[in-house]
Amino acid sequence: MTTYPEIRTHRLKEHLSEEVISVRGLCKSFGNNKVLDHFDLSLYRGENLVVLGKSGSGKSVLIKCLIGLLQPDAGEIEVLGQSIPDLDHEALDQIRVKVGFLFQSNALYDSMTVRENLEFPLRRHWIKVNQDEVDHMVMDALGNVGLAHTVDMMPVELSGGMRKRVALARTLILRPEIILYDEPTTGLDPITAGEINDLMVGIREKFQTSSLIISHDMKCVRMTADRVIVLVNGRCHANDTYVRLAASIDPEVHRFFE
């Protein structure tokens, strides 16, 4: 399944009303290293937004701030109308159920089988769900990523692409409204990376999720983005559709599209 940016952008205009993530003036430093410097971002419902930047530019720091894994030095972060830095642990957990996160390293629990990995978030949040329902939800989530046959395997027995799919299934099992992807195609061969890209687009179509995708893989950006933000020196350097940015003469933007 390959979709084209122009078509998606046209359709997206109908949905650009509700902001699900809003970042204003976000600053984050590690010692003297200023990673994010008054960064702004808006993600709208149903949109696939890609943050493009070179390695070490602060892309992963950005999404870790969005989910409350890192505390920003300054700035406002609102996710689904809630100010993330001001939330207590319990309120943050409630938000996190609605926001899926796909880690660059997949972060599968390596002491658990695939089934247990997927059951884990369900058991923590939907305590009253009986085993039959849990089994059904696990198989359904694995079916969505085409890996139902791996249910009793250990993560170590899976290939890189399969692990990424299982991690995606684990992210999907709580039916999040927003999914944050941290470099989803890094380390994968071009064919598997293409399959993951298709899956991300397919998930948006099927579950009506909004996605923030961190990437420097231009094929991933082209296939998945409704809109692209170029992150340079910790700031939002450009913000437009893939097609317009590809035609840009700005040297900082042009470097990514060469």
Partner 1 sequence: MGLVLTMQLRPKLVEYGVEAELPAMVGIAIVREIGPVITALIFAGKIGSSIGAELGSMKVTEQIDAMEVSGTNPFKYLVVTRVLATMLMLPVLVVLSDAISLYGSFIGINIKGVTSAHLYWDMVFRNLSFGDILPAIVKTYFFGFAVGIVGCYKGYYSSKGTEGVGRSANSAVVLASILVFIIDLIAVQVTDLLGFN
* Binding positions for partner 1, rule: CB under 8 A: 64, 67, 69, 89, 93-94, 96-97, 99, 101, 103-105, 107-110, 120-121, 124-125, 170, 174
Instruction: Give whichever of 66 and 228 is closer to partner 1, judged by the CB atom.
Output: 66
Q: In angstroms, rounded to a whole number, what is the distance separating the alpha carbons of residues 191 and 204?
A: 20
Closest contact distance (angstroms) between CB of 101 and partner 1 is 4
75, containing H or E segment: strand 74-79
What Cα–Cα distance (Å) separates residue 102 from each residue in 65, 178, 186, 214, 258? 14, 11, 12, 10, 28
Closest contact distance (angstroms) between CB of 92 and partner 1 is 8
Closest contact distance (angstroms) between CB of 252 and partner 1 is 30
Instruction: Give whichever of 174 and 231 is closer to partner 1, judged by the CB atom.
Output: 174
Instruction: Give whichever of 71 and 94 is closer to partner 1, judged by the CB atom.
Output: 94
Instruction: Give whichever of 102 and 225 is closer to partner 1, judged by the CB atom.
Output: 102
Instruction: Give whichever of 35 and 174 is closer to partner 1, judged by the CB atom.
Output: 174
**DSSP one-letter code for 112:** S
Integer-rounded Cα Rg, in Å, for the chain is 18
- Contact between 63 and 212 under an 8 Å Cβ cutoff? The reply is yes
Closest contact distance (angstroms) between CB of 124 and partner 1 is 5
Measured at the CA of 110, the angle between CA 175 and CA 168, to 5 degrees, comes to 25
Closest contact distance (angstroms) between CB of 69 and partner 1 is 6
